Amino acid sequence: AQKVTQAQTEISVVEKEDVTLDCVYETRDTTYYLFWYKQPPSGELVFLIRRNSFDEQNEISGRYSWNFQKSTSSFNFTITASQVVDSAVYFCALRSGGFKTIFGAGTRLFVKA
Amino acid sequence: EAGVVQSPRYKIIEKKQPVAFWCNPISGHNTLYWYRQNLGQGPELLIRYENEEAVDDSQLPKDRFSAERLKGVDSTLKIQPAELGDSAVYLCASSLLARSGETQYFGPGTRLLVL
């Protein structure tokens, strides 16, 4: 069975703080893909990153960074120097064994000025 | 390049009424998805199309939900009759090819409220 767990329901930080959003996944497949999406209040899911199971290299994109660790089945997302515009719901997703994408329940991030 | 377009953005109906949602995917994207997102949860797949063929509709409640993508471009999702539990956001997504790792791009969704 495939599963994605985002244990943090809500996180509240003050602007300029760093924040890490956790994602733990379960799959028996050796080939799979992991995604992060951002959902601002407007409702649209905005694609942030895709990672395949054979690429454990961490990635940095501006203030965003991702830490993929197969040993712990985790794909965590860190925002450095958070800004108010980062306030949104963030979803981690897993795609394996075909075309079905399983989303976590999301983490709502509040960044206060 | 235009993103995924959905309409309407909001819909309020009374239970037992029919409702339809429309989606126009990104130009050139062959694969189209309909998802339902309940409050406080992640999206859940309802149906996936490759061109005009519904290749995965296992999660679509077929007694009241139907979908079509007649020309392999835009798509319509219908509920008839709507129930209170159908209140949710209905998201459409598209991807370029039918490959497992292909990234899906989402539209803004239609927020449905059934009274």
Tell if the CB–CB gap between A103 and B44 is shorter than 8 Å: yes
**Residues in chain A closer than 8 A to B57 (CB atoms):** none
A19-44 residue pLDDT tens: 999 999 999 999 999 999 999 988 88
With CB atoms and an 8 Å threshold, state whether A99 touches B108: no
DSSP assignment of chain B equals: ----EEE-SEEEE-TT--EEEEEE--TT--EEEEEEE-TTS--EEEEEEETTEEEE-TTS-TTTEEEE-TTSS-EEEEESS--GGG-EEEEEEEESS--TTPPPEE---EEEEE-
Q: Looking at the predicted structure, is the pLDDT value of residue B100 above 80?
A: no
- Candidates B44, B104, B111, B112: best to mutate against A (most CBs of A within 10 A) is B104
pLDDT band at A72 (very low <50, low <70, confident <90, very high): very high
The 3-state DSSP class for residue A82 equals coil
Q: What is the arithmetic mean of pLDDT over B49-59?
A: 90
* Whether A100 contacts chain B with CB within 8 A: yes
Of the candidates A50, A96, A99, the beta carbon closest to that of B48 is on A99
pLDDT of residue B71: 86
pLDDT at position B70: 82
Cβ of residue A90 closer than 8 Å to a chain B Cβ: no
- The Cα of A95 is separated from the nearest Cα of chain B by a number of Å equal to 7
Mean pLDDT of A87-106: 91
